[in-house]
């Protein structure tokens, strides 16, 4: 089992719709969860982080965390073509080194 799993996509949504991106992780003791966005040819940039169970909202973005199910998601409301990118889920582990492990990313396409 991969440590952090994401569906590679592409996930296609029409402009204005809600895009839902999902991620599961294997380290039950993980405490910190991050979403990065990577545009083609660019480096990943952090867009959201969440540490506690439940929802965290920031503008059009909502991160959801369910530690019991080892599941974290990112919702993008009112999707825009400029949101088209690859979204990477990252998990900071519970071990002594607190390694940050990335999923391979989900490619999102917002269709105008």
Interacting residues with other proteins between 68 and 87 (CB under 8 A)? 86
The residue range among 16-24, 59-67, 68-76, 99-107 that interacts with other proteins, by the rule CB under 8 A, is: 99-107
According to CB under 8 A, which one of 49, 60, 61, 67 is a site residue for other proteins? 49
Using the rule CB under 8 A, is 88 a contact of other proteins?
yes
77 versus 99: smaller Cβ distance to other proteins: 99
CA–CA dist 18, 4 (Å, integer): 23
Interacting residues with other proteins between 28 and 47 (CB under 8 A)? 31-32, 34, 36, 38, 43-46
Residue 84 neighbours by CB under 8 Å, 6+ apart: 108, 109, 110
């Amino acid at each position: 089992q991969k440590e952090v799993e994401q569906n590679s996509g592409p996930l296609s949504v029409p402009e204005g719709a809600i895009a839902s991106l999902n991620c599961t992780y294997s380290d039950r003791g993980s405490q910190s969860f991050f979403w990065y966005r990577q545009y083609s040819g660019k480096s990943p940039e952090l867009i959201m982080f969440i540490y506690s169970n439940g929802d965290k909202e920031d503008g059009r973005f909502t991160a959801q965390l369910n530690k019991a199910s080892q599941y974290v998601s990112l919702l993008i409301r009112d999707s825009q073509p400029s949101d088209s990118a690859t979204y990477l889920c990252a998990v900071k582990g519970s071990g002594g080194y607190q390694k940050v492990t990335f999923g391979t990313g989900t490619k999102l396409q917002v269709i105008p």
